Amino acid sequence: MKEESKRVLCGVMGILLGGFGIHRFVLGDTTGGILRIVISIVTCGVGSLIGFIEGIIYLTKTDEQFVNEYQVGKKAWF
């Protein structure tokens, strides 16, 4: 069975709510989501840029690339 891409959902969540790590939770990466929350708190919100950048990267990939790298391969950073 082919896995459905969560690219657009994760991309938008990364751009809008990147500091809360929502996009990582959607991908099933609880550790990555919590880590992004901690980074945002420690850096007083500046660390949320990581999620913003990840969201843009997600949206620039094709569905096939996204599924292979982030859903199947479980790539953790960028």
Assign 3 a pLDDT band (cuts: 50, 70, 90): confident
| Residue 77, in any domain of the structure | no
Which residue segment(s) compose the domain that 41 sits in?
7-72
Question: What is this structure's pTM?
Answer: 0.89
- Residue 18 burial (CB < 10 Å; 0-12/13-18/19+)? buried
- Residue 14 burial (CB < 10 Å; 0-12/13-18/19+)? buried
State the Cα–Cα distance between residues 6 and 46, nearest whole angstrom: 26
| Residue 78, in any domain of the structure | no
| Residue 66, in any domain of the structure | yes
Q: Which H or E run includes 57?
A: helix 48-60
| Residue 61, in any domain of the structure | yes
| Residue 25, in any domain of the structure | yes
| Residue 1, in any domain of the structure | no
| Residue 62, in any domain of the structure | yes
- The count of structural domains within the chain is 1
- Predicted confidence (pLDDT) at residue 2 exceeds the cutoff of 70: no
Q: What is the pLDDT of residues 34-72, one digit of tens each?
A: 999 999 999 999 999 999 999 999 999 999 999 999 999
